[in-house]
Amino acid sequence: MEQIYEKYPSLRKFETDGYQESHDGREITLLKHIYSHPSLPQIRDSPSALLNLMDEFAAKEDFLISIGPDKADKLVKILADERPQVVVELGGYLGYSAILFADTMRQTAKGTSTALRVWSLEADPLIASIAMNFIDLVGLSDIIKVVVGPAADSLKRLSAEGKLPKVDVLFLDHVEDLYVSDLEVSDQLGFLHSGALVLADNVVRPGAPAYREYVRGSPKYESWGLKSLIVPGDADDEIEVTRVK
């Protein structure tokens, strides 16, 4: 454990009584940290510089529930292969994954006239506001739209407004117990076409056994696990990768 603490000093705080992993004010601390950082001029319009700084904050200052660098590398590879035009994520938090997705989509679509969109659905309005700030800072507001509210409600509203005709990648990263019901909502709204990909984080840790059983048991999907690490901490986890047949 001491080795892990040396690599990730922030994890020592987990030993504090009543320690919370998020939504306790650290997000505002991070916002101030970024805006007072000497490398702020280099962060402007640089998604990777901001994500690196968030990784550093999570390792040294306070754990962040963002996907982190190991999962980021794996998801970049998937997105670079898939070349999605429209991504929807349930659980946006501070915009880390949305920024990663939009940056990858923009780089892989270079030279084409494709309209790219990342819908980042986040329940907490304060957290969503910080995400909007970061997204603007790195110059991705034209691609990423943050939508505030419970994901199921937002999906229904966006769909009724005609904004979700077709979704290429759906990323589930909000509440494991809602993965099945929110995938069902997505299925009923009809925006997941044949060939679309559904990616679900944290299916091993903290775990989403009912979701795995659901997607692996349904004739509508083909589904498998992708090994990945929770960073900071390097704990084993998996992302469930599910192809809509």
Ligand X SMILES: C[S@@+](CC[C@H](N)C(=O)[O-])C[C@H]1O[C@@H](n2cnc3c(N)ncnc32)[C@H](O)[C@@H]1O
- In 3D space, the residue among 201, 167, 202 whose CA is nearest the CA of residue 185 turns out to be 167
Instruction: Report the distance separating Cα 243 and Cα 245, nearest Å.
Output: 6
Strand-pair category, 235-244 with 221-230: antiparallel
The verdict on 130 binding ligand X (CB under 6 A) reads no
Distance (Å) of CA 120 to CA 165, 204, 228: 16, 23, 22
Is residue 35 exposed (0-12), middle (13-18) or buried (19+ Cβ within 10 Å)?
Answer: exposed
Residues recorded for the chain: 245
The verdict on 155 binding ligand X (CB under 6 A) reads no
The verdict on 137 binding ligand X (CB under 6 A) reads no
The residues pairing with 117 across neighbouring beta strands, listed in sequence order, are: 86
- In 3D space, the residue among 38, 13, 39 whose CA is nearest the CA of residue 24 turns out to be 13
List the one residue from 137, 158, 178, 203 that touches ligand X (CB under 6 A).
Answer: 178
List the one residue from 62, 82, 103, 122 that touches ligand X (CB under 6 A).
Answer: 122
Nearer to ligand X, 43 or 151 (CB): 151
The verdict on 51 binding ligand X (CB under 6 A) reads no
The verdict on 124 binding ligand X (CB under 6 A) reads yes
List the one residue from 57, 63, 93, 214 that touches ligand X (CB under 6 A).
Answer: 93
CB of 202 to ligand X, least distance (A): 7
The verdict on 228 binding ligand X (CB under 6 A) reads no
List the one residue from 57, 63, 96, 221 that touches ligand X (CB under 6 A).
Answer: 96
Give me the residues that bind ligand X (CB under 6 A), please: 65-67, 89-94, 96-97, 121-124, 127, 150-151, 173-175, 178
